[in-house]
Amino acid sequence: MREFPPGPFYPNGVGKMLKTPMDSLPNNAVPTVKCVDPLPIGAFPLPRCISNEFAYNLGPSINLNNLKQQSELRSRRRTNHMATWFGQYISFDITVSLTTIPSNPIYIPADDATFNPPSSIPGELPAKGVTSLPFNLSEVLPGTSDPLNSVRNGVSLVSPLLDLDMVYGAYNAPDGTFKTIRNGTSCYLLTTDNGKYPPKDDSGNYIRSTSTSSRSWTLFTMAINTIWIREHNRKCKDLFDIHGNSWTDQRYFEEARRWNIALFQKTASEEYLGTVLGRPLPAYEGYKPDVVPGIDTFFATVSFRYGHSELSDSYRIQDMYGDTIYDLPLERTKEENLLEAFGLDRVLSSMALHRQEEVDVFFNDASRNLNFSHIYDLYAFDISRTRDRGIALYNVFREAYGLPRKNTWEEVTSNKYISNRLQFLYPNGPDTMEAFVGAFSEDHLDGSNFGELLNASIVTQVCICIFSCFFFFN
C-alpha cells in the first residue's frame, strides 16, 4: 500500500522514473555522461553517481588513515551485526516483493573510478558492451494492462504481520504441491543432522518458504531461522512432558506455533526495535479493528532498507576464544552451507562480536560492487528502486510524517563532508533531494541508530503491524 504521501511521485508522467542526464542522449550515442557534468534542468543525478559520492573507498592497503576512517564508519553505539541480520530476517516476514519487469539498467558514468579508472582507454567499456549494471522494475497487480506506465508500489508476497512465515510458510515441493516443513501430522518441524539444522531439499539446499525464496538469504539469516525451528521443536517436547497423550498432535503443533510466534513478536518489538530505535515503542493498546494491515511503500523501499548501510566488507568468524578463524567476504555470505561448516554457535557468536557499520549515507565498498551472477551496486540499486516506485522527495515525506521541512543542508546534517556532497548532488537545496539520500544523511536522534525520518517511518509501520494483528502477544 502507499500511505505517506498518498500519491506517487513521477514528475515525468505516470510510471516514468526521474529524469537523468541519460534522457537527453540519442539512443545510439556512446555513453559519455560524467558525474562531474552539470545536471540539465529538471534532471536528477545518475544512481551510480550518488553511490560514488558516498563510497568508502578504503582500498586494500592497511594504513593509519584507513584504520581511522574504518573505525569512524562503524556503529557509534557499538551495535553488533546480530541486529543487522535479525532486521533482514524480519524483512523476509513482511516486505517480500518481486522485481522482474525489464527496465533501463543502471548506467555506468564515464568517470566511474571502478569501471572507468583514469588509466583506462576512453570508450573501452562501451566498446566491450559494458555500459550498465542490471535493474528490473517492481511487479504490479495482476491484470495491469500497461505495467511500464502504471504505479508500481511493489506487490507484497507475504502478510504484513509478524507471523514467522519463514518457518511456517508453504514451499513448492518436487511433486508440484505446496507443503510446509511440519513433520507429517506430528508437532515437530523437519530438521537435518539430528535436529541441529533446517531441512533440505533433494539438491541439498535448505528449504525456504515460497514467499521468501526470492530474498537474499545468507548463512546469518539461515542461522537465525534455525533458532526458531529449534525453539518450536523444544516447545513441543516441553508441552508433551506436561500433557502427555491428553492432547492431539494438532493441538500440540498449534500451541508450539503460537508460543514461537509470540516469542518472535516479543523479541522483534521489544529487544530488536528497542535496541535500534533507542527507545520503546508506544504502549500496546490491544487490537484495533480500524487499523488497516499493510506495508507502506516508503517503509519497504527506504526505511527498512537501512540494513544495507550496516553491511561490512567482510565478517569475522571467531572461535570460542574470540580469535578470528576466517574473514568471510560479503559476497560469500550467500553460501549457506558455511553455516554447518563453521557451526551454529560460532556463526551466532560471531554476529554478536562484530560491530556493524553506522546507519548513514555511506555504503561499504563490497556492497557497491557485489559480484554474484552480475555485478551489483546495492546503493545505486536502492536509489533506482525509489524512483521505480515513485517515492516522493525528502521534505514531502518529512511533512507527511509531521516533521518540519529542512531548508538548509546544515539543518539536515552537522557533518560538513556530507552537506558538501549533498550540495554537489542537489545544488538547489533540500527541497530537491531524494528521500532515500536525505533519510540516511540526517543526524541521529539521541541514543538511536536513526534520524528523525527513519525513526518516524519505522515506528509508524511497526505500530500498524502490531495494532492490526488480532493475535499479537501481550
> Can you say which residues are annotated as belonging to the binding site?
308
Going by the annotation, the residues of the binding site for heme b are 308
Work out the angle at residue 24's Cα, subtended by the Cα atoms of residues 384 and 387, and round it to the nearest 5 degrees.
15
**CA-to-CA distance for 263 and 472, rounded, in angstroms?**
10
Across 88-234, where does the E strand assignment appear? 101-102, 106-107, 132-133, 136-137, 171-172, 178-179
Q: Which three cell numbers stand for residue 61?
A: 592497503
> What's the burial of 6, exposed, middle or buried (CB within 10 Å: 0-12/13-18/19+)?
exposed
Which helix (H) or strand (E) segment holds residue 329: the answer is strand 324-329
- Tally of residues, the chain: 474
**CA-to-CA distance for 372 and 221, rounded, in angstroms?**
18
Amino acid, single-letter form, for residue 13: G
Q: Which three cell numbers stand for residue 100?
A: 522482474
Q: Which three cell numbers stand for residue 263?
A: 516469542
Q: What are the C-alpha distances in Å from 165 to residues 37, 269, 464?
A: 47, 17, 18
